[in-house]
Structure formats: C-alpha cells, structure tokens
Amino acid sequence: MLDVRVIETSSLGDRSYLAHDGELAVVVDPQRDIDRIAALAGRLGVRVAWVLETHVHNDYVSGGLHLARLTGARYGLSAADDVPFERVPVREGEVIEVSGQMRIRPVATPGHTFHHLSYVLDGPDGPEGVFTGGSLLLGTTGRTDLLGQDHAHELARHQHSSARRLADLLPDGAAVWPTHGFGSFCSAAQADGEASTIGRERRHNPALTLAEGEFVEQTLAGLDVHPAYYAHMGPRNAAGPDPIDLTPARTAGPDELRQRIDDGEWVVDLRSRKAFVHSHLAGTVSLGLDGPMATWLGWLIDWGAPITLLGETPVDVAQAQRELARIGIDRPAAAASGSPEKWAGGRSGRLASLPAALFADLAAALRHGHAGAYPPPAVVLDVRLPHEWRDGHVRGAVHIPLPELPHRIGELPAGPVWVHCASGYRATAAASLARQGRAESGPHRRRLHRRRRRGRADGGLTGARAVPESLPVGRKSEVPHDRTGARTLRNPPAGRASGRRPRPFPCPHSASSTARARCRVSGIKWSVIFAAAASLRYVPSTIARTRAGSAPGQTRRSSPTTAASSSAARWMPSGVCGRCR
C-alpha cells in the first residue's frame, strides 16, 4: 500500500497531500510555503516527481509552480486552464505513470470550477483513494459560486454529477482526500469528520443521497458570503505566483508604531484576546494567532494596505507573516515583538484596556436598565455572518458582519454598544476596530473620537479585569427572544470561520420534572463583547452555566431541579429546556 501524508493548513481550513512509494512522490494542491513539503520529502527520503493541482485555487496562493521548479518535478494542471507558464496539460483519460508501484488517473469533476480535476491514486492492487480538491468533500461539496453568481446554478448541477461519477468509479473502501472543507470558505458546508471513504460518502453526502434538483436548491440556499480577498487569488494563481518571501520584517520602535497608528494604518496585535483585553497599545486591532487571523485580516483590509504586526515573540510574528503570505500579503511594512509596555515606549498614556462583563449583565441591563457598573446598551451589535444571524439573534440587535464594520461604523448610535459574535474572536476584533473608529470615511472616525473626548466611556479606557479562559455566561433564558421571524435568540452555532463545529453535550435537565423537553442547544457557544461607546467589554465563549449566587468567573452547571422563572418562561422556545436557553 502507498503512503499518503497530509500537510494541514488549519489556519485556512485546507489540506495538501504527499503520496509516495518509498522513492518517488506526488504532491497535490501545495500551499505557498513549500518549505514544509520539502522538509517532509526530505524526512521520508523521497523525491518529488509530480506536482498536481486539482484546480486554479481561489482561497490561497499556490506553491505548486515554485515547488516543481525547485525539485525538478513535472507540474500538472488541467489542459483547459489557460495559463502563461510552462506546465503539463492534464486531461481525463490519460494515466500518469509515477513509478511501477504508483500511478495517477485524472478524472474531470467540474463543479467547484469548470475545469476541476480529481486524481485517483492507483497502487499495486488497484485504486487506494482519490484526491478530490474542491469536488467531493467530507459530508459536503465545494461551493459553486466563486466564479460568480451567474455560474453558481450550473456549477451546482455539475458538482452533483461529478460526485456521483466518482462514487460510480471507485470502490467503497477507497479513501477520499479533499483539499477544502476543514474550515475553508471554499466548501459549501463544514466537513463532516476528519477522514472518509467513498462508501461513507455514499451513505451521508447530500450529493450522493439527494436528487439533483434538491441538491442544487439546498447547496445554493446554504451559501453565505466569502472573504473579499478571494477575488485576488484566482488571477494570481492563473498568472503564475511568485515564490514566497519569509525574510523577517523590519523592526519598528515605539514612535514609528504610534505614527503608523495615527496615520490610520493597520497595526495588528497577534496576542490572544485575553491578553489584548487586559492591556494593548491604543489604536491596534486584535486578530490573534489563536484564530483565523489571515482570513479575517485579508477580508477586512483594503488590498495592498500596509500592515504592521505585533507579537509576543519573533516566532509569533514569523508565524503571522507566513499565514499572510499564503493569501498573497507578502511583506509586512514593519513588526515588533515584546509587550504593550515596550511598544508604548514606557508611556502609559499610549496603553488601553477593555473591561470584561458577563452575558448575564446584558440580561440585567435589558431588564432593569443597568447592570452594576455597566450602562444599558444603546445597541447590541452582532458581528457574525448572515447565516449565523438567520439562525438566531438577540431581539432588537443591530447586525453588521465583521467584514462590513470598517465601512459601517458610522451607523452605530452614540452611547454604549455591546458587541458579540459566536466565539469571542470576531467580537474582540470588532471592539478594537470600533474603539479606534477605523472606517473608510473620515467623518466616521472623527465622530467616534469626539465621543471619547466628551467622556461617554467613563472608566472604560483603563483598569480592565483579566479575563479567564472560560467564564459563565448566565442562563440564555434571561435575555428576551422568540423563535420566529427576524427576532430570535438562540445559542448561535460557532462561526464557519472558526473551522470548528459546536459540540453539544446532553442536556443535564432533560429528565427534570420541571423541564422534560430534550434540549436542542446545550453546549453551543455564546460569546459577547460589551462596549460603552469607545470602550468595549468582552466575555469569551463557554458551555458553562451559572447557578444563582455564583461569583463572577466561577463556572458551574445549573441545578437540574431549579425551575425557570415565570418571566423567563415567556421567552423559552419549545424543545429547549429552561436551564439551557
């Protein structure tokens, strides 16, 4: 049996593959940072003989052309793709004889793109698996709208027939090795599991269980927005991308950092949101390495805008530079490592913090007009994506997806703004953006700065509490919601950009005499950032619940025998128990 190695790029939700027979190797869909692949081949003691692309990629810059040139391998791409560089035009019906033990059979599988190819890997005993790129994924398929909405319906039909073609061609035991689906926006939905076979997909994949019309309708209805930087990836790959440049960025001192912030440039804090909330250089944007930093930054910026990276260590800065280079952001304008105090040059006036609050405080503020030291919200800002909003949201909230926030900050009213997402990551980014008033138009930025000068964020600029990794969020039933129309509150699912699915656990109250309904939403994450004008407050995601009288930060589950209050019961959707709403 041949050996197939997976090269994960979890920050983008993609996989590359290296298949070998002990001497020669084939690489499929390599990312731009090919040093990882060269190192793997070196450890295995194999020579890369072929580099194959399933399609011209739209979510990252390919490293395939450079890898082939570096190793002397042959570079294969669909013969139907019109490219200016030298390659081997690959067609269905041909056989790539890699060695006496290993061969590749290209199969035309249009759907994700018009000229998409899948590659069947044959060993000595027959087909061992298929590299499916953006065609047949694990429990889903690649999205069909990246070439434009005009082609989405036609490509969805192609996607359905391509998946069935692969299923008809291969035995149930053949492995399925997709490129997308592990958090990538190139997939129509999140992948179902980490590994699969043709037989498993036959039983579970909608492309293989639904009729064409139903599949097309379901696929198109489920497509949401995708990152703006995707528009730059296809043309760059089709033109022949340049090799990656990972030489360290120039180090910036405190005065230069301050000047870049004052000039409106993107100065990005790569530390965790917990660290950012505690203390940060005023005017920086929080996009930590503990999340999909490159995806959100590439989505937010005006393409080509200068970026400065701030990390705790040079290793963190180098990691961020690598992740950004994968999507074509090649050279940071500058970088610095250390702490906020170092970046501020020891000047405390250049530092800021974001106080933390609990989700239960939002419920109290909505009910009673105050929540201790926290003011009632002028608006609850939901920065999740449209499909998450449709699944459920706080009644009366304003929905501005994070990618739209830089252009729509001026829509926020004066007064306290409480912000939330699904995991805390995007909401922290939104908090940092709104706090500095970053927007395309100058008046938006000036208006937010005037608010700060008027002191509408009393106590919000310094003295933030340190935020534990997990905080209780209170009973969801404490916040008004219903199940229908545009005014809904449920525990929203984790955002697709996180690359993870929520992991429900059994409702501990389903056997209770006061709540027998099976809970549909236990364990799905809630995250909230609260803002008072320019100052925003944050609580990360959790699956914990609070018991009445619990101290802040103390994680507990509610007692299964505690009955829900009559006032909370008015907002409880059926099918969700009173302790878990």
Measured distance CA(23)–CA(89) in Å, rounded: 25
What pLDDT score was predicted for residue 410? 86
Q: Is 246 a domain residue?
A: no
The Cβ of residue 97 has, within 10 Å, a number of other Cβ atoms equal to 10
Confirm whether 163 is domain-assigned.
Answer: yes
More confident of the two residues 364 and 567: 364
CATH number at residue 463: 3.40.250.10
Looking at the structure of the chain, the number of domains it has is 3
What pLDDT, on the 0 to 100 scale, is given for residue 367?
Answer: 79
DSSP 3-state of 539: strand
Does 57 score more than 90 pLDDT?
yes
Could you please report the per-residue DSSP string of 360-391? HHHHHHHHHS-BTTBPPPSEEEE-S-HHHHHH
Judge if 401 and 497 occupy the same domain.
Answer: yes
Same domain, 68 and 92: yes
In a domain, 188, yes or no: yes
Question: In which residue are the tokens 């706090």 written?
Answer: 435
Distance CA 489, CA 486 (A): 9
Distance from the Cα of residue 482 to its chain's centroid:
28
Q: Is residue 579 part of a domain?
A: no
Q: What is the pLDDT of residues 307-351, one digit of tens each?
A: 999 999 999 999 999 999 999 999 999 999 999 999 999 999 999
Of 239, 272, 297, which one is at a domain's C-terminal end? Answer: 239
Give 370's pLDDT tier (boundaries 50, 70, 90).
low
Domain annotation covers residue 580: no
Q: Quick one: pLDDT at residue 515?
A: 27
Distance of CA 145 to the CA centre of its chain: 18
Is the pLDDT at 306 greater than 50, yes or no? yes
Q: How many CB atoms lie within 10 A of CB 566?
A: 7
**DSSP structural state of residue 142:** B
Region 378-389: mean pLDDT is 90
Give domain status of residue 433, yes or no. Answer: yes
Q: Tell me which residue of 496, 65, 26, 470 sits closest to 244, measured CA to CA.
A: 65
Local confidence band at 552 (pLDDT 50, 70, 90 cut-offs): very low
Q: Any idea what DSSP says for residue 166?
A: H
Q: Among 214, 239, 264, which residue terminates a domain?
A: 239
Arithmetic mean of pLDDT over the chain: 78
How far is residue 516 CA from its own chain's centroid?
36
Q: Which residues contact 405 (CB under 8 A, 6 or more apart)?
A: 383, 430, 433, 434
23 and 80 part of one domain: yes
pLDDT at 219 over 50: yes
Range of the domain at 555: 359-569
> Can you give the pLDDT at residue 437?
59
One domain, residues 111 and 65: yes
Residue 103 lies in a domain: yes
Q: Which residues pair with 371 in a beta bridge?
A: 374
Query: Is residue 275's pLDDT more than 80?
Result: yes
Greater pLDDT, 134 or 395: 134
Query: Both 484 and 555 in a single domain?
Result: yes
What pLDDT is recorded for position 365? 79
Is the domain of 196 the same as that of 265?
no
Are residues 235 and 268 located together in one domain of the fold? no
Asked if 286 contacts 431 with a C-beta cutoff of 8 angstroms, the reply is: yes
Confirm if 34 and 70 have CB atoms less than 8 A apart: yes
Q: Which two tokens stand for residue 577?
A: 């128990």
Percent of the residues in the chain that have a pLDDT greater than 70, as a whole number:
74
**Domain final residue, candidates 320, 352, 384:** 352
Q: Let me know whether 208 and 153 are in one domain.
A: yes
Q: Is the dihedral of CA 417, 423, 428, 434 positive or negative?
A: negative
Q: Is the domain of 340 the same as that of 474?
A: no
Q: Tell me the pLDDT band of 371, cut-offs 50, 70 and 90.
A: low
Least confident of 215-219, 345-349, 420-424: 420-424
Would you say residue 565 has pLDDT above 60?
Answer: no
Does residue 248 form part of some domain? no
More confident residue, 375 or 218: 218
**Are residues 124 and 41 part of one domain?**
yes
pTM: 0.78
Task: Compute and round to an integer the Cα radius of gyration of the chain.
Answer: 25
Q: Given pLDDT bands bounded at 50, 70 and 90, which one contains residue 74?
A: very high
253 vs 192, higher pLDDT: 253
Could you tell me which of 357, 358, 355, 377 has the C-alpha nearest to residue 367? 377
Report the CATH number that the domain containing residue 73 is assigned in CATH.
3.60.15.10
Are residues 274 and 363 located together in one domain of the fold? no
- CA 1 to CA 24: how far, in whole Å? 14
- 89 and 131 part of one domain: yes
In terms of Cβ atoms closer than 10 Å to its own Cβ (0-12, 13-18, 19+), residue 454 is: exposed
- Beta strands 416-421 and 526-532, pairing class: antiparallel
Query: Quick check: 179 and 170 in contact, CB under 8 A?
Result: no
